[in-house]
Each structure stands twice: as C-alpha cells, then as structure tokens.
Amino acid sequence: MALLSWWLVRRKRAGKPTLLDPGLFTFPHFRTGISGQLLQNVTLGGAMIALPIFLQMTLEYNAMKTGLTLAPLSLSMFAVALIAGRKAAGRRPSNIILVGFALCTVGLALIIPVVPRTHSGWALFVQLLITGSGLGLLVSQLNNYALSPIEEERASEAAGINSAAGSFGLSFGLAMAGGIMLAFLAFSFTNQAEDSAVIPPAQQQQIADTLEDDAQVMSNSQLEPLLAGEPEDVQAEVLRINKKARDRSLQIALIVPVLASLLGLLNAFRMRRLPDPVPATIEGVLG
C-alpha cells in the first residue's frame, strides 16, 4: 500500500494518468470516513469469526441454532440502520458515528467475560442487540459522510476506494481474529499440557508437535473419538485443557473487534472536530 501510494503521487505530480487520484485524500471528511468504514468492517469481521466458532465449538450448536442466536445482531443492525437513516436529519453525523462505535465497543466487551461461563446462547442476547444497534448506526452514516463532499465527476472513484476499504477491513478482521485465535490456542494448549501432571511426557510432546503443524478449534465432542483408548484420567485432562484453551483463545480473538471499535471511537472524535460535511452539489450552488 505504501508503494502504491508513492507511485500514485509520483504519477500525479508528473501529470500522468493515475489509477486513483491521490487528491481525494486531501478531503478530511473522506479520510476519516473511509477510516471509519475500514474499522467498522474490522469490527464486524472479527466478531463474525469468533462468535460462530464459540457457539458451534463451545456450546456445540448446529448451523441453524447458531444463525438464530446471532439473529439479534443482524436484525438490530438492519432495523437501526433504517430508523437512523430516516431520523438522522438535524443531528450531526459524527455524533451518530461516535455513539455507534461506543455501542459496538460496549456490546463486544460485555461478551468476553461471558464466553467461559455460559451454557446458553441466550446469555449473549443483550450484548448482540447492543452491538448490532451500534453497527446499524454506523451503516446509516459512514458512506454518506465519506462521499457527500466529493464532486460528481469523482464520485465513482471515491466510492470504489470506500468499498475497497470496507472489503479490506472485513478480510483483515476475519484473518487477524482467526490467526490470533489459533496462535493463542496452540500456545495455551501446549503450555497447559506440559504443566499437566496427568498427561505422560511422550504425549505432551506429541500434542505440541500436532498443534505446531495443525492447530484447530475443536469441540469436546469432536475430540472425544480421538482420545479413545487413552486412560480415563488422560481423556478427562485433555478435554479440560481443550475447553480452557479454546475459551481463552476465543476471548483473545474478541479483543480484535473491541480494539477496532475503540480506534473507530477515537476516529469519531476526530470527525467531531470537523464541520459537518456539505454535499458537493449544494456547496457548488452556494459557491
């Protein structure tokens, strides 16, 4: 991305055609708007890998129950986006965006302590409702905030950059939360296995070697057939370690969307220091 930016600026200064006009980034509303778009999607992507894995591997829900459990998030996001889009007139977009990121931060942060303690998806209902409401507020404002000050002849180019920022954020959130989760799972499982007085040393090394090559989140039901033939105390110990390591890794993964929301909150404070964006068409008429 740094090389691309350098190349675009260099061609622009030389008066040559550019793939993207770097001059778009001179608009402060556009810069902060696409930053918010990226962080919103990092938040969504990180949550959308950690939460289904928690529901399917810890609570052992099937796809249908997982979808129904996550419904408060998606439905509240949709409903709040519609309502906020209609009722936002007269309110500062930056304030709505700030509240949206604040709700996402609170909702996701409240899920983290629930992960190792709950045995039902109902324990996530309120937190998912809060998070979905926050995302709905963001969806209703960020696109317009970033794109409204851009002139009509540059609108499609700006929309492409805005869309790319959102797609990159979603991919980054999925990859970062998933990668951190698997890395911490392998680390935690290996350390607990090595500290165990129940698992024989030879099996401890086998566990470490297996996780180094193929770390994956597994439910206890998936793990039990692999432990057939082992002494009962070893089976119970491995299952205990699996649950503890899995829950910790999911908690760590949820920190990614929480941090993204916090960064979005800081970015929203930057937005508040700017005047409200004026649509380019209106600005042209006034000029």
Listed range (9-18, 203-212, 220-229) with the worst mean pLDDT: 203-212
Residue at 213 is within a domain:
yes
In a domain? residue 226: yes
Give me the chain's average pLDDT, please.
87
Point out the least confidently predicted range of 93-102, 164-173, 204-213.
204-213
Task: Note whether residue 188 is domain-resident.
Answer: yes
Residue 111: which pLDDT band, with cuts at 50, 70 and 90?
Answer: very high
Domain-embedded: residue 50: no
| pLDDT tens readout for residues 215-262 | 677 777 877 887 777 788 888 888 888 888 889 999 999 999 999 999
Asked if residue 118 is part of any domain, the answer here is no
Kindly indicate the confidence band of residue 284, based on its pLDDT and cuts at 50, 70 and 90: very low
Q: State the pLDDT confidence band at 72, using cuts at 50, 70 and 90.
A: very high
Distance of CA 195 to the CA centre of its chain: 33
How many Å apart are CA 234 and CA 232, to the nearest integer? 5
Please, are residues 135 and 100 in contact by the beta-carbon 8 Å criterion? yes
Q: Average pLDDT for residues 36-43, to the nearest whole number?
A: 96
Residue 173 scores a pLDDT above 80: yes
Q: pLDDT digits over 126-169, tens only?
A: 999 999 999 999 999 999 999 888 888 888 888 998 999 999 99
Domain that holds residue 213: 184-246
By CB atoms closer than 10 A (0-12, 13-18, 19+), residue 225 is: exposed
What was the pLDDT predicted at 70? 96
Banded model confidence at residue 209, pLDDT cuts 50, 70, 90: low
Q: How much is the average pLDDT of 184-210?
A: 79
d(CA 73, CA 260): 17
Contact at 8 Å (CB) between 176 and 165?
A: no
How far apart CA 68 and CA 92 sit, in angstroms, is 34
Residue 237 lies in a domain: yes
| pLDDT surpasses 70 at 125 | yes
For the chain, how many structural domains are there in total? 1
pLDDT at position 50 is: 93
Q: Quick check: is 169 in a domain?
A: no
Predicted pLDDT at 105: 97
Q: Please report whether residue 69 resides in a domain.
A: no
Work out the burial of residue 153: count CB atoms within 10 Å of its CB; fewer than 13 is exposed, 13-18 middle, 19 or more buried: exposed
